[in-house]
Structure 1
Amino acid sequence: MEKKSLGVLGGMGPMATSVFFEHVIENTVAASDQDHINMVILNHATLPDRTDVILNNIGDTFLEPIKKDIQTLETIGVENIAIPCNTSHYFYDEMQKSTDINIINMVGETINEIAGKYGENSKIGLLATNGTVESGIYHNECAKYNMEMYTPNDTIQQKVMDIIYGIKSGTDVSVGAFEMIIEELISKEKCNCVILACTELSTIKLREDSRKYSVDAMQVLVERSIKLSGGTLKAR
């Protein structure tokens, strides 16, 4: 397959963007530099906080600068765009309407993969920012496949938010505490799996017994990006 340049709208947050880049490299079969895909990364770290934008209904403060970023990538000539930020996909339709370039739908691709693995009537746990939870983007996608989306109670959700913003601020977070949250959703709430639906959560190194119940939305985006860009994906 012919190589196609990938545009990456990053900075949401910068560490997650760095991990996305590293994962693309690590998951590409390559014997030389030339076997890797071409990427243009626009690390727009000063974009407004997506959760605040959604909860305060001020979407234009995010959409205006992001549309300019998309225009920049158009000018460069990328052929697909990846946005390694789940919460930003609340604005997916508006972003896609602003360009003829395909924007990979991280949320849609993730739920499609889960549906293929677990099927109808599955119960899926959601670990994400308040903005992503409140937006309903994962709930809406789950409904298309007759799957149930479960969101944590307020106490657990606050713990998830503390972990996410701890990672953003560079604070050490407890892997064990996060794994306990996954365990509760699987064992107590009887979820078939949980979605790591925030790219900060993708930076946490989980043990195998937690990882096997987790579907990392960023990993789904990584794999789809490699395939669409003409790279060869390593076997899992």
Structure 2
Amino acid sequence: MDTKKLGVIGGMGPQATSVFFEKVIENTAAECDQDHIDMLILNHATLPDRTKVILEGRRELFLDAVANDFKLLELAGVANIAIPCNTSHYFYDDMQQMTSVNIINMVDETVKEIHGRYGDGSKIGILATNGTVSSGIYRASCERYDMKLYEPAPSLQSEVMDIIYNDVKGSKNVDPSKLESLIHQLVYEERCQCVILACTELSCIELSNFYKECSIDAMEVLVNRSITLSGKQVASDK
């Protein structure tokens, strides 16, 4: 397969974009610099908060702000675009209409991988922003694959938002056990087959191997799909 340049619209948030870039490097089967992917990363940190825009019904604020990013990436000649932000995929169809370049659908790719592991009828938990949960993007995708999405109760959802906005985006003082406790509740108390880490801020938290096995990180799925669509091999597949 020919190698292709990857475009990235990042900044949602900046640390998550940095982690995405590092994971692409780590997960690419490469023995020298030239074996890696050519990438153009736009760290557009001033994009409007996706959760706020969705909850307020003001989608045009985000779409107008991101429109020029697609033009820049088209001019740069990228073959695919990755957007390491789950909540932004609420606008996926609108964004894809803005550009002729393929936007990798993080949500559908993640749910497709889960279905391949757990099959029809699976009960899947989700940890994400209020915007992602309320948008229903993962719920709709799970339904297409005949799986049931379990959305956390308000008290647990409040804990998720606290980790995302106060711990990761804010103080950057993250205790992995807080996230692991939430995964534990969904798997052992709510009987979910697995839990989707559907916020790239959560991908910045290093979990123990046990809880990694209990969850599927949507960013990890996006990373691996970005590598293969760029004509490279995922390191574990080499």
Normalised-by-shorter TM-score class? over 0.9
Runs of 4+ with >6 A deviation: none
Corresponding residue of 2:139: 139
Corresponding residue of 2:83: 83
- Residues 21-44 of structure 1 show CA distances to partners (whole Å, capped at 9, x for unaligned) of 000000011111000010000000
Distance apart, 1:171 and its partner CA: 3.1
Corresponding residue of 2:20: 20
**Number of aligned residues:** 236
CA distance in 2, matches of 1:113, 1:57: 31
Corresponding residue of 1:55: 55
Corresponding residue of 2:128: 128
Sequence identity (%): 59
Corresponding residue of 1:220: 221
CA distance in 2, matches of 1:176, 1:27: 25
Corresponding residue of 2:46: 46
Distance apart, 1:65 and its partner CA: 1.5
CA distance in 2, matches of 1:37, 1:151: 36
Corresponding residue of 2:209: 208
Corresponding residue of 2:108: 108
Say yes or no: does 1:162 pair with 2:162: yes
Pairwise CA RMSD of aligned residues?
A: 0.8
Amino acid at match of 1:46: T
- Residues 194-228 of structure 1 show CA distances to partners (whole Å, capped at 9, x for unaligned) of 00000000011101111101100000000000000
Alignment of 1:165-204 (within 5 A): 165=165, 166-204=167-205
Secondary structure of the structure 2 residue equivalent to 1:41? strand
Secondary structure of the structure 2 residue equivalent to 1:169? helix
Residue range with higher mean Cα deviation, 164-173 or 137-146: 164-173
Distance apart, 1:235 and its partner CA: 1.1
Distance apart, 1:81 and its partner CA: 0.1
Amino acid at match of 2:16: A
Say yes or no: does 1:234 pair with 2:235: yes
Seen in structure 2, the aligned counterparts of structure 1 residues 171 and 31 have a Cα distance that, compared at 3 Å, is closer
CA distance in 2, matches of 1:173, 1:31: 33
CA distance in 2, matches of 1:94, 1:171: 32
CA distance in 2, matches of 1:35, 1:103: 23
Secondary structure of the structure 2 residue equivalent to 1:235? helix
CA distance in 2, matches of 1:53, 1:99: 21
Distance apart, 1:178 and its partner CA: 1.2
Amino acid at match of 1:229: S
TM-score normalised by length of structure 1: 0.99
Give 5+ residue unaligned stretches, structure 1.
none
TM-score normalised by length of structure 2: 0.98
Distance apart, 1:132 and its partner CA: 0.0
CA distance in 1, matches of 2:171, 2:30: 32
Distance apart, 1:109 and its partner CA: 0.1
Give 5+ residue unaligned stretches, structure 2.
none
CA distance in 1, matches of 2:236, 2:173: 32
Amino acid at match of 1:220: V
Distance apart, 1:60 and its partner CA: 0.5
CA distance in 2, matches of 1:99, 1:61: 18
